Amino acid sequence: MRDFGYQRAHDVSGAVALLGADPDARFLGGGTNLVDLMKTGVERPARLVDVRELPLDRIEVTEEGGLRIGATVTNSDLAAHPEVRRRYPALTQAVLAGASGQLRNMATVGGNLLQRTRCGYFADVTKPCNKRVPGSGCPAVEGEHRNHAVLGASEHCVATHPSDMAVALTAFDAVVSYETADGPGELPLTEFYLPVGDTPHLETALPAGALITGVTLPPAPVAAHSRYRKVRERASYAFAIGSLAAAMDVRDGVVRDVRLALGAVASRPWRAREAERLLTGGPADAEAFAAAADAELAAARPLPDNRYKVTLMRNLVVAVLTELAEEAAR
Amino acid sequence: MTTATRLTPSVGTAHSRVEGVDKVTGAARYAGEIPFAELAHGWLALSTVARGRIRSVEADGVLGMPGVLAVLYHGNAPRVDTDHVGLLGVKPEPTTALFQHDRVPHMGWPVALVVAETSEQAREAAEALVVTYEQEPHDVAFSGGRPDAYSVDSHMPGATEKGDLESELAASAVVVDAEYTTPEEHHNPMEPHAATAHWDGGRLEVVDSNQGSTWVAQELAALFSLEPSAVRVRSEHIGGGFGSKGVRAHQVAAVMAATALQRPVRVVLTRRQMFSLAGYRSPTAQRVRLGADADGRLRALEHRSLSVTSTVHEFVEPSSGPARVMYDADAHHTANEVVRLDVPTPTWMRAPGEAPGSFALESALDELAEKCGLDPIELRTRNEPEAGPVSGLPFSSRNLLACFQEGARRFGWADRDPRPGLRRDGRWLLGTGTAAASFGAGAAPSTAALTAEADGTFTVRITASDIGTGARTALTLIAADALEVAPDRVRVRIGDSDFGFAMIAGGSMGTRSWGWAIMAAAQELRERLALGGGIPSEGITVRSDTSAAVGALAQKERHSFGAQFAEVAVDVTTGEVRVRRMLGMFAAGRIVNPLTARSQFTGGMIWGISMALHEEAVRDRTSGGHVGADLAGYHVAAHADVPHIEADWVDDPDPDDPVGIKGIGEIGIVGAAAAIANAVWHATGVRHRNLPIRPDRVLLAAAAGTGARDA
Amino acid sequence: MAPAPSSTSSAITLTINGEKYPLSVDHRTTLLDALRERLDLTGTKKGCDQGQCGACTVLVDGRRAVACLQLAVAAEGREITTIEGVADGERLHPVQQAFLDLDGFQCGYCTPGQICSAVAMIEEHAAGWPSAVTDDVRPEAGPPPLTAEEIRERMSGNLCRCGAYVSIVQAVAQAAAVDEEAAA
């Protein structure tokens, strides 16, 4: 690890000013990802601006009945918050499905959104990686890609986004707020992560030097009937090989509203809009769920060793929506 | 002792660990935690190519970095002598020939050590160190079909053959012919390898984390051409070993640097470095052919196992070994073969041979039971051999069937419907499976010193190693009984090569070998004390050496046995497999401390869960190195993967051991993965012959439909 | 070796087990290395140094955290409790006592982390936090009972390679019951 300067910010504008336009400076939140990447040499910042003490640690109900979540709220506090559990239970489930109790106590909402991929090639500086060293190549395409992307990837990068939290936030139309030297801005989470294309090193649409200040969830009554299911190669403390955040409002056997976001299948949480479109207004039965899943996954371009993900996601959609439909019928 | 009333024996009753308070309060100090004045920190730099030559090590580039004290590499390192055979009868691990030449035989080969004032400085400099290579094409592709495989003798013959295999197979009513694979697996003890070396008045002292301090001391003395008495190695607390903690590059590096700098130097491996430098269990590709009469009696048994070794050392994972013990057949052929690739050298890992071998053999037995329409336990009962199938020697004791009978009763096996794929609990399909286990029971020569102190207490000094086995506590109980005193009057000091040679913690032989030496010393001490005359202030010390007694053991088939039972739940729509319960019944000699012994057995069984469902190191063919070489990429079972597990034992004292011990460190893992795989078949109807049984494998097998019953 | 304060090091005071420890740290120094290499508090273990094993679990402001991903300089101003501060003088904490009595460890290396984790986990549960295996996370459902399944999930951030999980779960359950009795 290269040596670096350290400054602690006490307010948002101060934090933004401290970072300035320095490309070698990074905001430090919980450090659960950044410090690890610094140890492995993937990140080599010359300066850290610690934002953990910024007054962004609150969760508030908005006037419209949504939630505004501060960027430094820890994953634990987010998951445990009664309004999150009541209004967006899948968000609590998603956060609790991630990492471990220790890491959730440290990790922040802002940092979670900016997590880097867990691709083994990305994490190993002795190997090529287009995301880490643009133009160096992607060994995963021909190599180890069992847990890589099947949707929205390119031949330049097949890495997945590792966050569970962001999958649920994506399903619920979260909007990311940020601050820059030029003032505040907002980005819907569905536009926050950039398409991979031939620039996998460019991951988010955040302006340079921007500090994430929070996430706003619009009111979504459907979210009260939501669920997050995560499949992984160990029962806990492992990244997803496939996950699903789903919310569905069923009345008289008809789908009134539905939200679906898929995790661990793309470089970003994958909002399944095609499936949602097909399901809305239709019957809440297994056949319709499967047809919707198939339509969404028609765009999948799996590699030889991750074809299973297409089946897995189809099965997850059917299983979770069936459970939600059964609950609605009760 | 003359005044002591006869005490209740300590051996056989539960005792919490004598060092337990130190371990739960954080007071116990492990190798990297002993403070030294003027300590410098060494950080290894490893090769980034899988084969070739080092063209340059640009040490000058980092010598000016803050705190950097030295860079050691093949251009300036002292010579070491690797042409010797160590305590375990094998040549030194090849990475102990540290910095001796410019060849790179595998990715992660140690190419330099950077020493600095702080670990942060050492790490940064080691990572900044530029090493250039002449890269050569490498071959890391392990598979069952390698034409360059050859059989290798290890502590057992490479191949055994009796009878005409093909004709017995042809005459068999039922034949199983299947290939099984197990992946590269890593020990991953929680404590990374760590050593601090320093010179103290002309004597080399090494504070280490190892499985045998005499072993390490002797190897270091030989490597550095020192008198054996000039090396002292201590290893008081060890954070797990499982076969990986012998003599390795980090100790050699620490000694080289301490010698060059004349100050204490500590070298600690990172978790990632451990994947290249700590040894591992080879992947295996195994073929098992079984031929049986309609009643299940075996006519033919063939077990061939291929494992990998490096280009610089021959290590064989002897996975066909269990077949030589467990089952006889008119034609009985076994072979352990290796192929040499550009990979690190594998080593012993908990139940070497038995763990992967029992997965293949005990899965094949289950397949045979299915084909014969026989209960798997009945099949094994019908194939109990009278004598060693290969050796013809009698068994010292073989209580396998007692384990199956008692285990079946407790597990509720009698109610089992043998048909697969019938039981469901919500989204989960349920199944149960069983498998047999065996592991060699042996003893090795050891010495012990036992002192009767003037205050009426006793001190044992023995170069034993407690890697978590509970050996320190077990030896305390053994000594207490041998001396007929309460355990609190006995202090057992271990992990110091100055105490004299002793067996390592390995081969499930440690506690038995050390206990034997303590029994011998205690007997002599009691005789001395019986003469009367009081105890001088320095105490009365006797020494024992069991070389003659151990050497006089009659040749027999000596093994522990066990029966493993597992219940699993499988969601074939997601591929998730969960173990719901396990039971292990063991016949493993006299149990010294039931509390810690149960932990040993269940710990081994959890290794079985981990092996069955999780563990797999992935090697990238293009680079020749690992992908995901860390504890997030290499999964070991976590709390949530482990259900309630029961382990118990039947009475099985070894008549040829003074305490009755057989050894329990390894048998818990043997057969456990097979029991789980057999349960997965029972749940789903699909045979999983490739470990680990990952979600993608379960999912694809299920998605392929009922036609495909194998994965 | 203590670096002099500069742009890449700082003079800080850490509060550990109720005591103040002034020291100068290289910014790269993690809380874990500060404890082990600088303050001779070696009870906190380094298993992976990457947040992947939980051996270095300590309490930061009462909550469990991994010390390997916590920079020491960023820990200034926080109350840190390590395994050395868990017991009440000579009297073991109920979690420690249960680990000892039920053999909730083998090699002992993951043990301080397991114990610190369990101490905080029992409090998290008492505060009503749900877990990934809690059936119904809505606040109306009330806090889940601390079943073996709940303990396993909540303790999964602490790997034990020896496989002492069965007795660890028993020990945590026993200690949690002691806690509940005390609260009742």
Whether B287 and B198 map to the same domain: the answer is: no
Whether C17 and C52 map to the same domain: the answer is: yes
Query: Number of helices (H) and strands (E), helices first, in chain C?
Result: 5, 5
pLDDT over 70 for what percent of chain B?
98
Whether C69 and C43 map to the same domain: the answer is: yes
Whether B545 and B574 map to the same domain: the answer is: no
ω into residue B183 within 30 of 0, thus cis?
no
Query: Residue A94 and residue B236: Cα distance in Å, rounded?
Result: 43
The ipTM (two decimal places) reads: 0.97
Whether B394 and B382 map to the same domain: the answer is: yes
Whether C108 and C78 map to the same domain: the answer is: no
Using one digit for the tens of pLDDT, what is the confidence trace for A177-201? Answer: 999 999 999 999 999 999 999 999 9
Whether B675 and B528 map to the same domain: the answer is: no
Range of the domain at B196: 34-137+190-240+245-277
Using the predicted structure, report yes or no on whether residue B1 has a pLDDT greater than 50. no
Unique residue bearing structure tokens 């920190």:
B41
Whether C68 and C131 map to the same domain: the answer is: no
Chain A residues close to B120, C-beta within 8 Å: 1, 3
Most A CBs within 10 Å, among B119, B129, B275, B574, to test the A interface: B574
- Does B185 qualify as catalytic in the annotation? no
Which of left, alpha, beta for A137 (phi over 0: left; psi -120 to 50: alpha)?
left
Which pair of structure tokens corresponds to residue B51? Answer: 């084969």
What does pLDDT average to over chain B? 96
Using the predicted structure, report yes or no on whether residue B4 has a pLDDT greater than 60. no
Span B533-552, mean pLDDT?
A: 96
Query: Residue A229 and residue A240: Cα distance in Å, rounded?
Result: 10
Q: Does C55 touch chain B (CB under 8 A)?
A: yes
Whether B218 and B310 map to the same domain: the answer is: no
Q: Does B584 touch chain C (CB under 8 A)?
A: no
Answer whether B423's CB lies under 8 Å from B456's CB: no
Answer whether C83's CB lies under 8 Å from C45's CB: no
Using the predicted structure, report yes or no on whether residue B156 has a pLDDT greater than 90. no
Residue B658, CA atoms < 13 Å, CB-side half-sphere: 21
Whether B459 and B592 map to the same domain: the answer is: no
Residue A262 has a pLDDT of 98
Residue C1 has a pLDDT of 45
Q: Cβ–Cβ of C105/B24 closer than 8 Å?
A: yes
Q: Does C152 touch chain A (CB under 8 A)?
A: yes
* Structure letter (DSSP) for residue B496: B
Query: Number of helices (H) and strands (E), helices first, in chain A?
Result: 13, 12
| C132 domain-assigned | yes
Question: What's the gap in Å between the CA of C149 and the closest CA on chain B?
Answer: 7
Q: Does C155 touch chain B (CB under 8 A)?
A: yes
Against chain B, the chains showing at least 3 CB pairs within 8 Å are A, C
CATH number of the domain bearing residue C18: 3.10.20.30
Please name the member of A5, A103, A235 whose beta carbon is closest to the beta carbon of C8: A5
Q: How many domains does chain A have?
A: 2
Using one digit for the tens of pLDDT, what is the confidence trace for B397-436? Answer: 999 999 999 999 999 999 999 999 999 999 999 999 999 9
Contacts for C181 with CB less than 8 Å, ≥ 6 apart: none
Whether C74 and C149 map to the same domain: the answer is: no
Whether B397 and B346 map to the same domain: the answer is: yes
Q: Got the DSSP string for C75-89?
A: GTTSEEE-GGGTSBT
Q: How many domains does chain C have?
A: 2
Residue B155 has a pLDDT of 82
Whether B578 and B505 map to the same domain: the answer is: no
Please name the member of C30, C51, C134 whose beta carbon is closest to the beta carbon of A32: C51
CATH number of the domain bearing residue A281: 3.30.390.50
Using the predicted structure, report yes or no on whether residue A241 has a pLDDT greater than 90. yes
- When mean pLDDT is compared across B151-160, B512-521, B523-532, the lowest value belongs to B151-160
CATH number of the domain bearing residue B656: 3.30.365.10
Q: How many domains does chain B have?
A: 3
Answer whether B168's CB lies under 8 Å from B291's CB: yes
Residue A247 has a pLDDT of 98
Span B195-217, mean pLDDT?
A: 97
Contacts for B245 with CB less than 8 Å, ≥ 6 apart: B189, B193, B209, B210, B211, B238, B278, B467
Residue C179 has a pLDDT of 74
Q: Got the DSSP string for B125-194?
A: HHHH--EEEEE--------TT-TT-EE--SSS-SEEEES-HHHHHHT-SEEEEEEEEE-BB----SSPPE
Using one digit for the tens of pLDDT, what is the confidence trace for B84-103? Answer: 988 888 889 999 999 999 99
Whether B257 and B319 map to the same domain: the answer is: no
Position A270: which residue type? Answer: W
Using one digit for the tens of pLDDT, what is the confidence trace for B590-626? Answer: 999 999 999 999 999 999 999 999 999 999 999 999 9
Query: Residue B95 and residue B280: Cα distance in Å, rounded?
Result: 14
| C59 domain-assigned | yes
Residue B710 has a pLDDT of 67
Whether C72 and C104 map to the same domain: the answer is: no
| A134 domain-assigned | no
| C4 domain-assigned | no
**What is the total residue count of chain C?**
184
Q: For chain C, list residues with pLDDT below 50.
A: 1-3
- Among residues C56, C85, C114, the one where a domain terminates is C85
Q: Give residue B533's pLDDT band: very low, low, confident or very high (50, 70, 90).
A: confident
Query: Residue B385 and residue A268: Cα distance in Å, rounded?
Result: 59
Position C43: which residue type? Answer: G
Residue B704 has a pLDDT of 83
Using one digit for the tens of pLDDT, what is the confidence trace for A288-317? Answer: 999 999 999 999 999 999 999 999 999 999
C-alpha distances out from residue C37 to A247, B36, B258, C46, C71, Å: 50, 10, 19, 11, 14
Q: Give residue B8's pLDDT band: very low, low, confident or very high (50, 70, 90).
A: confident
| C3 domain-assigned | no
Question: What's the gap in Å between the CA of C131 and the closest CA on chain A?
Answer: 6
Whether C145 and C122 map to the same domain: the answer is: yes
Residue B219 has a pLDDT of 97
Whether C120 and C151 map to the same domain: the answer is: yes
Query: Residue B182 and residue B658: Cα distance in Å, rounded?
Result: 38
Please name the member of B23, B242, B636 whose beta carbon is closest to the beta carbon of C159: B636
Contacts for B387 with CB less than 8 Å, ≥ 6 apart: B393, B394, B395, B557
Whether B414 and B333 map to the same domain: the answer is: yes
DSSP strands (E only) in B490-631 = 490-493, 540-545, 559-571, 576-587, 618-619, 626-627
Range of the domain at A46: 1-50
- Determine the distance from the C-alpha atom of residue A146 to the mean position of all C-alpha atoms in its chain, rounded to a whole number: 20
CATH number of the domain bearing residue C100: 1.10.150.120
| A259 domain-assigned | yes
Nearest CA in chain B to C46: B191
Nearest CA in chain A to C74: A50
Contacts for B124 with CB less than 8 Å, ≥ 6 apart: A1, A2, A3, B65, C28
| B6 domain-assigned | no
Answer whether B307's CB lies under 8 Å from B316's CB: yes
Q: Give residue B707's pLDDT band: very low, low, confident or very high (50, 70, 90).
A: very low
Whether C104 and C168 map to the same domain: the answer is: yes
Using the predicted structure, report yes or no on whether residue B637 has a pLDDT greater than 80. yes
Whether B333 and B415 map to the same domain: the answer is: yes
| B53 domain-assigned | yes
Range of the domain at C37: 9-85
- Among residues C85, C117, C138, the one where a domain terminates is C85
Whether B270 and B286 map to the same domain: the answer is: no
- Among residues B227, B256, B277, the one where a domain terminates is B277
Instruction: Return the ∠ at Cα A186 (arms to A182 and A192), rounded to 5°.
Output: 115
Residue B6 has a pLDDT of 61
Q: Give residue B708's pLDDT band: very low, low, confident or very high (50, 70, 90).
A: very low
| Virtual torsion, Cα A303, A308, A309, A312, nearest 10 deg | 170
Using the predicted structure, report yes or no on whether residue B343 has a pLDDT greater than 60. yes
Residue B647 has a pLDDT of 98
Comparing CA positions, the residue from B323, B328, B282, B320 lying closest to residue B304 is B320
Residue B2 has a pLDDT of 45
In a 3-state reduction of DSSP, which class is residue B355?
helix
| C2 domain-assigned | no
Residue C180 has a pLDDT of 74
Please name the member of B16, B189, B642 whose beta carbon is closest to the beta carbon of C100: B16
Using one digit for the tens of pLDDT, what is the confidence trace for A243-274? Answer: 999 999 999 999 999 999 999 999 999 999 99
C166 burial (CB, 10 Å; 0-12 / 13-18 / 19+) is buried
Helices C165-183 + C111-126 axis angle, to 10: 40
Query: Residue B371 and residue B380: Cα distance in Å, rounded?
Result: 14
Positive or negative, the CA dihedral A298, A300, A303, A307 is: negative
Nearest CA in chain C to B117: C1
Question: What's the gap in Å between the CA of A204 and the closest CA on chain B?
Answer: 25
Q: How many contacts does A have with C, using Cβ atoms within 8 A?
A: 115
Whether C115 and C168 map to the same domain: the answer is: yes
Query: Residue B336 and residue B286: Cα distance in Å, rounded?
Result: 9
CATH number of the domain bearing residue A28: 3.30.43.10
Most B CBs within 10 Å, among C46, C56, C155, to test the B interface: C46
Whether C98 and C81 map to the same domain: the answer is: no
- Among residues B509, B524, B551, the one where a domain terminates is B551
Nearest CA in chain A to C65: A102
Residue A330 has a pLDDT of 85
Span B264-281, mean pLDDT?
A: 98
Q: Got the DSSP string for C41-82?
A: -TTS--S-SSSSS-TTEEEETTEEEEGGGSBTGGGTTSEEE-
- Among residues C31, C52, C85, the one where a domain terminates is C85
Residue C2 has a pLDDT of 47
Answer whether C87's CB lies under 8 Å from B25's CB: yes
Alpha helix stretches (DSSP H) within A145-187: 165-171
